[in-house]
Amino acid sequence: MARILVVDDDSVIRELVAAVLEEESDHRVVLAANGREALDRLAEAPVDAIVCDVNMPIMDGYELVRTVRSTPEFQELPVLMISAVAPVDGLDPSVDVDVMLEKPFEINALLACIAFILSGMRAGQNAVRVTRRRAAEAVDEFVRASQPVRARQSLGSPGT
Over residues 56-96, the pLDDT tens digits come to: 999 999 999 999 999 999 988 999 988 776 555 555 666 77
User: Domain limits of the chain?
Assistant: 3-155
pTM exceeds cut of 0.85: no
Determine the Cα–Cα distance for residues 61 and 77; give it in Å rounded to an integer: 14
Superfamily of domain 3-155: Response regulator (3.40.50.2300)
Read off the pLDDT of residues 93-105 as tens digits, 9 standing for 90 and up: 667 788 888 888 8
